Structure 1
Amino acid sequence: MTESDHRRRRITLADIASACGVSSATVSLVLSGSPAVAASTRKRVEAEIVRQGYVYNRSAANLRRKISSSVAVVINDLSNPFVAEFAAGVDEALAEAGCVMLLGSSGESVERQRAVLQSLIEHGPAGVILTPAEGSKVSDLQPVVGLHTPLLLFNREVPEAKWDYLGADNVAGARMATEHLLAQGHTRIAFFGGHRDSSSCRQRVEGYLSALAEAGISPEPRWMVECAPTRMQAATATAALFARDPAPTAAVTYNDGVALGLMMGLRARNITPGRDFAITGFDDIPEAHAQVPALTTLATGPRALGRQAVGLVLGRGNKPDLPARRTISPVSLVTRDSSLTYAHPLEAPAGKAAKRKSRRTGEPA
């Protein structure tokens, strides 16, 4: 075999062992850091590993040991700050468990999701954490993931799925946001952003509608505006809220990205968020408190959810026969300046509009 052929061929454990005059088992002990190998032998093996450029094939080793040191994470949108915080939590927890994260993104495409999952599953992960692309079905996932790899659905549910699920309390969160706007005196409240193909969006709409119903208010269908849950799409869709009179004076938005996009769209119409129009978000991304006005939102703790997701998916590997679990994480309302406004003072509770005028002008109420 020529030197060129040797370089093209993958160097194996046996090659290192043969060059050093030791067994493959000894080389394996050196790679695992075992103290059972004599210092002189360890030094000779390590030098040969460097000389030959051997790369440890962890997947093959895990296959032999019937374990895996990785977890696959497939999310729907890499640009979403909420997802970034969630992935950071996953990575922290996996590092503590001695594992690594295999990360992929579907870009909201069911076809792309299938391809990414198939590629990552080939690495034999201990489990999969998946935020499903909109429109995902069991039939899209089951043939790829198989029956034996633990799968945790995060943030979005899949109809008729029998896998574990972890998500924020979307219904309660949207209800709290709507009740907060009602308490500020708003009665013309929109639900803005997201697609009804997403279970999280449907659940947040459910919370919004239940709060309106408890207040005796009938929802206005044209104030329920769908759009992709991104900043730019939300800015473009803002016009739909003002297509006809009367227009809403406040909005519960699908997530913080949508809320920030709505702020952009309002400013383009010379409407000042937090003064002329009240807004709530959902997720409490790091950017929310730095906005002007700072965004009222629902804190979901995405980094903590990431850590929780790791515990659930690794735990499932130890208990494969237990029934699927649905874990709902509580959320909390964080009140900031974007929602403390009265676009129409006559709609505000008695005394509150006068107090607000006093704060603006310095005059006694």
Structure 2
Amino acid sequence: MTPQRRVTLADIAAACGLSKATVSMVLRDNPQVHPNTRARVRAELDRQGYVYHRGAASLRRAGAVNAVALVVNDLANPFFAEFAAGVDAALAEAGHVLLLGSTGESVERQHAVLASLVEHDPAALILSPAEHSSAARLRRVLGARLPVLLFNRRLDGDGPGDWDYLALDNRAGARLATEHLLARGHRAIAFFGGHRDSSSCSERREGYRDALAAAGITPDPAWLIECAPTRQEAARQTPALFVRDPAPTAAVCYNDAVALGLMAGLAACGRRAGADFAVVGFDDIAESAFATPALTTIATEPRARGLQAARLVLARLRGELPASPHTTIAPVALQVRASTAAAPDSPLQSSVQARGPAA
């Protein structure tokens, strides 16, 4: 059965021919409303089955000065759980509360979540947009007054952007990852996961291509594998790496979730990450260090990025940033672990075999 849309204050106001403010006064038992009007509103509330969320109403009354909204595209990704923890810690330190929403990469869900959060009149919004988010549509939902910080993805049709922007150094990170694999003797290196029309994925692909071009290598189009940036989809798409010969011997992954899914997919294909296939992730979520093998990745410090995002928003609210939109690019670093084996035919691999396993 399809769930019914929640009845809103605007629905009651329209049915009664009154303003939302008057209906709100009735809900709060304000004695200034005429008894006949109060009775009419109460009858309509009962008829439409309106549920008054008194806690949300309290937040609306007090929240304009102390609530900041955070909406992410995938809360199931541990990166965003760590990021949200950082945002919450910085807001709590400053006496603010966090309103949290997740869109699951759905533009329609994002529209509904943001419209609901705006009703609570937050002081500001931190948004990691869903793929294919339209700048024009977001402006219609959010209005011109609400301070917004976009995190790590630009919007479709936004040009330089009207809002503050905090991003990871995606291009430099993917270049570092690819250069590491080149140094390990790999030449057939895939870029695995994500969607090319996501700005963060596009930037990471550019860094990957930069490193290959500097090494005189033109990537085979078959080495560019797209999939949803989740562990499950990465595992399902792993066989696509091996449909043509010669197959890649290594992969730069869009994020750690994709890298961990790829390692599971490799095992199902009879290959071993860190032994006969090298894998590099991007994010350095906590789990990466404890995977088997431990995952080489691009460290982005997600909790620190959450702290940084919250502090940038608070600085905007205090008038400490320039009036024009402010862009911040956070540095990244290569974290080398066991998942990046040397290429099978490289001198590095030969020397490892000659030495034998470490004592």
Q: Give the TM-score taking structure 2 as reference length.
A: 0.82
The alignment yields a C-alpha RMSD, in angstroms, of: 2.0
Letter in 1 for 2:323: L
Instruction: Verify: 1:357 aligned to 2:334, yes or no.
Output: no
Secondary structure of 1:337 counterpart: coil
Structure 1 residues without counterparts, runs of 5 or longer:
1-8, 15-53
Match of 1:203 in 2: 203
- Equivalent position to 2:92, from 76, 89, 95: 95
In structure 2, C-alpha distance between the alignment counterparts of 1:111 and 1:292, rounded to whole Å: 37
Matched, 1:125 2:122: yes
Matches within 5 A, 1:62-101: 67-101=64-98
Q: Tell me what 2:340 maps to.
A: 339
The aligned counterpart of 1:233 is: 233
How is 1:287-298 mapped onto 2 (pairs within 5 angstroms)? 287-298=287-298
- The aligned residue for residue 243 of structure 1 is 243
The aligned amino acid for 2:327 is: R
- Give the Å deviation of 1:10: 6.2
AA aligned to 1:167 is A
**1:57 equivalenced with 2:58 (yes/no):** yes
Where does residue 37 of structure 1 map in the other structure?
none
Give yes or no for contact 1:110–1:140 (8 Å, CA) kept in 2: no
Give 1:269's aligned amino acid.
C
Cα distance in structure 2, aligned partners of 1:130 and 1:333: 26
Look up the SS of the partner of 1:251 in the other structure.
strand
- State the distance in 2 between where 1:323 and 1:203 align: 24
Q: Kindly provide the amino acid, as one letter, of the partner of residue 283 in structure 1.
A: D
Q: 2:270 — aligned with what?
A: 270
1:197, 1:167 → 2: CA distance? Answer: 16
Aligned CA distance change for structure 1 residues 114 and 11 (closer, same or farther; 3 Å)? closer
Q: Which amino acid aligns with 1:322?
A: A
Aligned partner letter, 1:332: A
Contact 2:277–2:341 (Cα < 8 Å) also in 1 = no
Quote the residue 2:12 is aligned against.
none
Q: Which residues in structure 2 correspond to 1:107-256 (within 5 Å)?
A: 107-158=104-155, 159-160=158-159, 161-256=161-256
Letter in 2 for 1:353: Q
Q: Distance in 1 between matches of 2:355 and 2:142?
A: 58
Residue in structure 2 matched with residue 45 of structure 1 by the alignment: none
The alpha carbon displacement at 1:321 in A equals 6.7
Letter in 2 for 1:315: A
- What is the CA distance between 1:12 and its match in structure 2? 7.2
Kindly tell me: are residues 332 and 10 of structure 1, through their superposed partners in 2, closer, same or farther at Cα, counting changes over 3 Å?
same
Number of residue pairs aligned between Structure 1 and Structure 2: 307
In structure 2, distance between residues paired with 1:315 and 1:145: 20
Q: Shift in Å at residue 240 of structure 1? A: 0.8
Q: Structure 1 length normalisation: TM-score?
A: 0.80
Highest Rg: 1 or 2?
1
Percent identical residues: 56
